[in-house]
Amino acid sequence: MSIPVEMTAVERWATEPRTVALAASLLPDPHADPALICASFGLRLAESDLGGYVHAVYFPDTIVCSTNPALGPNGRRFAFLHEIGHHAVATGRAPHIPPEREEAFCDGFACAALALDPAVLADGLRGLDQAAV
Ligand SMILES: [Zn+2]
């Protein structure tokens, strides 16, 4: 079975020691209340119907999480932490990430924060729903 190229990039970021260390330092409890995590970064947390494809969105002052019921708790947590990854990049907490690599970095960052095997992302929401996080 071949692994998509993008999955390989996510796996690299998820296991890269600086990503793991950054996730551990920024998110000592990745399962904490997202509102508290946002507050610790001076961010607002909002919820909105973002449609079926977008799971969360990062703005410099706000993270908006989807209310899509198809997104289970693991998918919701992953999407939220992915946006924290964008915040880390935007605020210079993360090392410089070329824009074309930022999405893979943020997926890897969320995986590192949750000690999640990036392979679960190959199955999208189904993989996240079944993941032990
Ligand atoms: Zn993203």
Cα 64 to chain centroid, rounded: 13
As a 3-state breakdown, the chain gives helix, strand, coil percent values, each rounded to 5, of 55, 10, 35
C-alpha closest to that of 10 among 131, 127, 107, 124: 107
Structural domains of the chain ordered from first start: 5-128 (1.10.10.2910)
Ligand 1 geometric centre to CA of 82 (Å): 6
Ligand 1 geometric centre to CA of 92 (Å): 16
Q: pTM higher than 0.85, yes or no?
A: yes
Answer with the residue of higher pLDDT: 5 or 112.
112
3-class DSSP state of 132: coil
Query: 8-67: per-residue pLDDT in tens?
Result: 899 999 999 999 999 999 999 999 999 999 999 999 999 999 998 899 999 999 999 999
Ligand 1 geometric centre to CA of 58 (Å): 8
Q: Can you give the pLDDT at residue 5?
A: 60
Residue 85 in tokens: 């990854």
